[in-house]
Every structure is written in C-alpha cells, then in structure tokens.
C-alpha cells in the first residue's frame, strides 16, 4: 500500500495549535474528572458502608485484567439538572470478559439511588442498541430505585421510555444475545423486569432485592407488613420464587459467578496482533487541529497519524477531491475511510456513493471522518443537480449492509452531517473530538439568515427596522448557536456516544472495528423463558 508523506513541519502554526489545544484537552479532562466518582461523598460513604462496591469498581472487577473498556457517553446529562446526575447515574461501555466483548450497563446507586431520568434511559437503551447491532452479550449490574419519580412524565409512557429496556432484552434474548443480570441492590417496580427478563440472574445476599412494589407500597395497598428481605431478597428469589438463579455472598462473589457464565458462552474470533504503528506520532494531532476556527490541514495529514504504517490506498484521488476515500488497516483490521477535505460538490458525492458501494461489495466496514460545512450552494451547483447527487450518497449509506461508524473531528453542519453518517444514519458508533461543533448551520450564517428574513418581512410591510434590533437578533442567535453547537451540549443529550481525546482515536477505532466484526446471528425464535 502507498505510504502517506506528511508535509507539515513543526512550524509556528503547529506550535500555536498545540498550545491552544492543550487548554481544550485540559478542559475535557477536568469535565470528565467531575463525573468519574459518581454521586456526592455522603452518598458514596453510605453506599460503601453497606459493604457494596462502587459501580466503577464493579466493572473493573468484572473485566479481564489490563483489558480496554470503551466507556460510552460519560458526560451524559452534564450541565443539566444542576449537575445532580453525573453520567446520568449509569455507566455503560464495552469490555472484555474471558476475551469476549460484552456490553455492560451498571446503575450508579450513589446518584439519586440509581434512578432513571430521560438521559439515563436514553443511555441504557443506546447501550442495548449497540449490543444488538454488534451481537454483544449484555451484563446488567442492577442497583436502582427505578424511575426518578418527579420526572415520570418524561420517562414512563412513551415508546422509547423505561418499558423499552425490557422489550429490548426480550428481543435480544430471542436473537441469542445473552442477557445476564447481577442484582446488587434495589430493583423495584418496572426495574424488577431487568433480572426477571434475563437469561441468567445472580442476586447478592441481604443486599439485592427484587419486587414489583416495595414494603411501604405493599402496606398501603394490602395492609401486609413485610421486610424488604422477606418480600424479595436473595434467599426468596433463589429458593422460593425462582426469579433469580444464583445466590452470591457479596459483590465480589456475584461478579465471579458472572465471569463464569460469560466463560461458558460460545467463543468469538480474535483480532490480529501483528501490525505496524503509524509512521508519524499520534500526538501530532494536537498541532494539526486548527485553533481559532481556522481551516483544517489536508485530511491525509490526519489519516497518516491513524493508519498502520501510515499507509492509505487512495481511491479516485484526482476526482471529487473534497472527499478523500480509500482503504487502510488500523491495528491490522481493514477499513474503508471517507474523510472530508472541504465542501461537498456533486463530484465528491458521486465518488462517495461509488466508494460506499465498493465497501459493500468487498464487505469492508467504513470509517467516516466528519468535518463538513455542507454541500456547495449556488445557482451553478443547483443547476448541475447537486441535490440529486447528494441524495445518491445518502441513499447508498442508508442502505449499506456493511457496518460504518463516525468520528466528528471538526464541524458537522447541514446536509453534510447526513451524507457523512450523522446520528440519523445509524452509524454503529459516533464519537466527537473536543474541538468539534455540531448545528444545522454555523452561528454567523444562522444569524444572517434570520436577519435577512426580518428585513424582507419589514420591506413587504413597508416598515423600517432599526439597526439596534437587528444587532440584538444577531447577538442572541450567535450566543445560542455557540452554546448549542458545543460537543458538550451534544454529549449531554446523547446525540453521540461520547467525546474522545484525539490521541486515543486510533485505539478507539481499532476497538470499534473488533466489536463490529461480531457477526449477526440468525433469529432463533423465542428468548429464554424464566421458569
Ligand atoms: N424517585 C426520586 N428520587 C428517588 C427515588 C425515586 N424513585 N428513589 C430514591 N430517590 C432519591 C432520594 O430522594 C434521595 O435523594 P437525595 O439524595 O436528594 O436525598 C436519593 O435518591 C437516595 O435515596 P435514599 O433512600 O436516601 O437511598 P438508599 O440507598 O437508602 O435507598 C432506594 C435507595 C432506591 C432503595 C430507595 O430510595 C427506594 O426504595 N426508593 C423508591 C423506589 C421505588 O419505589 N421506585 C418506584 C419507581 S418505578
């Protein structure tokens, strides 16, 4: 394969970008550090004094030692609810147990008793969607008071609300995707269906409880007085009701049993280990990502920092050059790369369409490196039919049979977001860099559009419009777009699967390529009925 030659030297611009991007990265890590410990110290103390491990410790113990954990949407709900729900009170991510990729969904009981707000549900359901698409066994570490009651109207009744979690479990079980629960705390009302719908369930003695209504509600409804343990504790469910299958002494023991269950599942193929690192250091990216909204360097400079031995077999290099397409390997795994190198023209969209078809023909997954202000506008381009050419690319993508995923490395605006595998096009994963921006158009452009509309309205009515009013519209719109275009705004609302440090991009892409290589199995009929 052809090796890319970097033309960038360690010049003044490079050093300026490095310095500016250092602040951006520090801000990113500071934000992550505020959520990494979960709830407030009082809640953590109460939790640990009960002999329970924290959600993060539970995950660490479950995973193979020194294996990677691809955590998702760590900053969900960040900046909302007065920051009372770090990571939306739930940890999700993909890790390895006995060498097998598994999806983990762990409630964090130190965050409002592990209860569910809208973002918690969205995160839980997104984790299940990824598991279903990529054939990953699911492990639910349950420790939750169910719905966060003050928010019930936003989380209970609609299609993708709380009930969808159990629907998904049933569907996945029917496809042969194992559903395993470890009940490590409360599991009340609808939440009781998480273990009840699992293929195999473990419950921790004198700590885990499962019931449709807790003791206070039972008393109110029937007058019966009963303790939580007597109503639905570990002994009851493993000896009397059969709602759980394994009784564990404590968190550590429960996790050990879960590892044994995963060990007994069928083997998956393992990834290759012999590959070459890129010729150029990945932390060059800090010097390449332009500070102050300046244009990106040639996208091949970025690709050269990501691919094995910086090799890239470019496709149609001389045609539609604002979209760069080609094949490469990342940690030994083949991938087709589509990367923006300017505005999309008809030719670039046609080339993209052709390349997507090629990847499908060859069964090679696709990586979209998205940095796009949109399609070219104007009379010449409309006359040439840019809308129909863009539609071809979107159509090829929407019907792609090979998996694809996206990293937004710069701007993501307008219809360019769609053609380059934005969220609506169901990429298997979508991550953003901390410098990324996402909105229907840029702040200045949106302000100009709205001002033009105001001026036209005034003109039609033969009215004057004062300059101050126009300035105030501009300021408001720019401010709003600046805030809403931030990757942190996006990730808080789960429009993506998380923000990643650019220097971890190669590792993240390699992990994703391994994960998506899990073949989809044929539907085998029913899931597992609990007896
Ligand atoms: N809705 C809203 N808030 C809830 C909640 C719920 N379902 N369950 C717990 N919380 C809040 C508490 O108000 C408390 O908030 P604070 O920190 O601001 O005071 C926090 O979560 C921790 O709850 P607490 O009871 O102090 O913790 P705990 O560890 O002793 O008990 C539970 C946790 C989940 C076992 C217990 O709170 C409980 O039983 N909750 C009700 C469960 C329920 O009936 N759910 C039905 C909804 S489907």
Q: Which residue has the tokens 């473990």?
A: 202
Q: Are 109 and 519 in contact (CB under 8 A)?
A: no
Residue from 208, 299, 300 nearest 248 by CA: 208
> Apex CA 191: angle with CA 186 and CA 197, to 5°?
115
List CB contacts of 70: < 8 A, sequence separation 6 or more: 93, 94, 95, 508, 511, 512, 515
Q: Which three-class secondary structure state does DSSP give residue 465?
A: coil
The reply to whether ligand 1 has any atom less than 6 angstroms from the CB of 492 is no
The reply to whether ligand 1 has any atom less than 6 angstroms from the CB of 233 is no
Which two three-digit tokens encode residue 81? 């609810």
Q: What is the pLDDT of residue 273?
A: 74
Cα separation, 268 vs 46, whole angstroms: 40
Q: What is the pLDDT of residue 269?
A: 64
Residue from 419, 365, 371, 416 nearest 395 by CA: 419
346-361: pLDDT as tens digits: 999 999 999 999 999 9
> Which of the residue ranges 45-49, 280-284, 471-475 would you say has the lowest mean pLDDT?
471-475
pLDDT over 90, % of the chain:
82
> Can you name the residues that pair with 93 across neighbouring β-strands?
71, 104
Q: Is 176 left (phi over 0), alpha (psi -120 to 50) or beta?
A: left
Q: What is the pLDDT of residue 274?
A: 87
pLDDT above 60 (res 522): no
List CB contacts of 227: < 8 A, sequence separation 6 or more: 215
The reply to whether ligand 1 has any atom less than 6 angstroms from the CB of 189 is yes
| 3-state class percentages of the chain: helix first, strand second, coil last, to nearest 5 | 45, 20, 35
Distance, CA 387 to ligand 1 centroid (Å)?
Answer: 52
pLDDT above 70 (res 528): yes
Average pLDDT, the chain: 93
Helix or strand holding residue 102 (H, E): strand 100-107
pLDDT above 70 (res 454): yes
Pick the residue whose CA is nearest to atom 11 on ligand 1.
Answer: 112
* pTM for this entry: 0.91
Higher pLDDT, 293 or 61: 61
The reply to whether ligand 1 has any atom less than 6 angstroms from the CB of 113 is yes
> Apex CA 264: angle with CA 258 and CA 269, to 5°?
110
367-383: pLDDT as tens digits: 999 999 888 888 988 89
466-505: pLDDT as tens digits: 888 889 989 999 999 999 999 999 999 999 999 999 999 9
List CB contacts of 312: < 8 A, sequence separation 6 or more: 1, 2, 3, 4, 300, 303, 304, 326, 327, 328, 337
Q: What is the pLDDT of residue 519?
A: 60
Distance, CA 242 to ligand 1 centroid (Å)?
Answer: 26
A 10 A CB-CB count for 186 gives: 26
The reply to whether ligand 1 has any atom less than 6 angstroms from the CB of 147 is yes
Cα separation, 267 vs 424, whole angstroms: 33
Cα separation, 352 vs 337, whole angstroms: 10
Which two three-digit tokens encode residue 214? 């807790």
> Given the CA of residue 84, which atom of ligand 1 is nearest to it?
18
List CB contacts of 329: < 8 A, sequence separation 6 or more: 275, 307, 308, 311, 335
Q: Which of 113, 165, 209 is the pocket-test mutation for ligand 1 (most atoms within 8 Å of CB)? A: 113
Torsion angle in degrees (nearest 10) through CA of 384, 389, 390, 394:
170
Q: What is the pLDDT of residue 518?
A: 78
List CB contacts of 186: < 8 A, sequence separation 6 or more: 109, 113, 114, 143, 144, 145, 146, 209
The reply to whether ligand 1 has any atom less than 6 angstroms from the CB of 146 is yes
271 confidence band (pLDDT: 50, 70, 90)? low
């Amino acid at each position: 394969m052809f090796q890319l030659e970097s033309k960038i030297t360690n010049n003044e611009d490079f050093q300026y970008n490095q310095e500016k991007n250092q602040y951006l990265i520090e801000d990113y890590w500071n934000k992550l550090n505020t959520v990494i410990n979960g709830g407030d110290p009082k809640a953590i103390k109460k939790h640990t004094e009960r002999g329970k491990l924290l959600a993060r410790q539970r995950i660490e113990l479950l995973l193979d030692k020194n294996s990677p954990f691809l955590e998702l949407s760590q900053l969900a709900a960040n900046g909302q609810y007065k920051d009372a729900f770090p990571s939306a009170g739930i940890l999700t991510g993909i890790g390895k147990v006995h060498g097998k990729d598994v999806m983990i969904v762990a409630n964090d009981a130190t965050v409002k008793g592990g209860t569910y707000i809208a973002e918690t549900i969205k995160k839980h359901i997104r984790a299940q969607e990824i598991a279903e698409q990529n054939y990953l066994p699911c492990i639910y570490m349950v420790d939750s008071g169910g719905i966060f009651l003050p928010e019930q109207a936003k989380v209970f009744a609609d299609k993708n609300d709380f009930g969808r979690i159990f629907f998904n479990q049933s569907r996945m079980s029917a496809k042969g995707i194992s559903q395993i629960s470890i009940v490590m705390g409360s599991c009340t009302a609808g939440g009781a269906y998480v273990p009840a719908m699992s293929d195999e369930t473990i419950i921790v003695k004198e700590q885990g409880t499962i019931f449709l209504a807790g003791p206070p509600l039972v008393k109110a409804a029937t007058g019966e007085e009963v303790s939580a343990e007597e109503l639905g504790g570990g002994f009851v469910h493993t000896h009397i009701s059969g709602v759980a299958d394994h009784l564990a002494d404590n968190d550590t023991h429960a996790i050990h049993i879960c590892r044994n269950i995963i060990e007994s599942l069928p083997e998956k193929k393992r990834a290759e280990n012999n590959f070459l690192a890129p010729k150029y250091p990945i932390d060059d990216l800090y010097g390449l990502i332009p500070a102050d909204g300046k244009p990106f360097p040639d996208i091949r400079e970025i690709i050269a920092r990501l691919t094995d031995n910086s090799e890239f077999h470019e496709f149609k290099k001389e045609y539609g050059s604002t979209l760069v397409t080609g094949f490469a390997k990342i940690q030994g795994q083949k991938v087709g790369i589509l990367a923006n190198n300017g505005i999309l023209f008809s030719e670039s969209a046609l080339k993209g369409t052709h390349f997507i078809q090629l990847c499908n023909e060859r069964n090679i997954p696709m990586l979209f490196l998205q940095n796009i202000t949109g399609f070219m506008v104007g009379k010449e381009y409309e006359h040439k039919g840019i809308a129909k050419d863009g539609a071809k690319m979107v159509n090829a993508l929407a019907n792609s049979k090979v998996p694809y995923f996206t990293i937004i490395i710069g701007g993501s605006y307008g219809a360019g977001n769609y053609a380059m595998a934005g969220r609506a096009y169901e990429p298997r994963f979508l991550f953003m860099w901390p410098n990324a921006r996402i909105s229907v158009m840029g702040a200045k452009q949106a302000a100009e559009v709205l001002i033009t509309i105001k001026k036209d309205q005034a003109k039609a009515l033969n009215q004057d419009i004062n300059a101050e009013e126009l300035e105030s519209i501009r300021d408001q719109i720019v401010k709003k777009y600046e805030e809403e275009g931030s990757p942190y705004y996006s990730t808080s609302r789960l429009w993506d699967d998380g923000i990643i440090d650019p220097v971890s991009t190669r590792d993240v892409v390699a992990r994703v390529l391994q994960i998506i290589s899990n073949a989809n199995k044929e539907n085998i009929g029913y899931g597992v009925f609990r007896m």
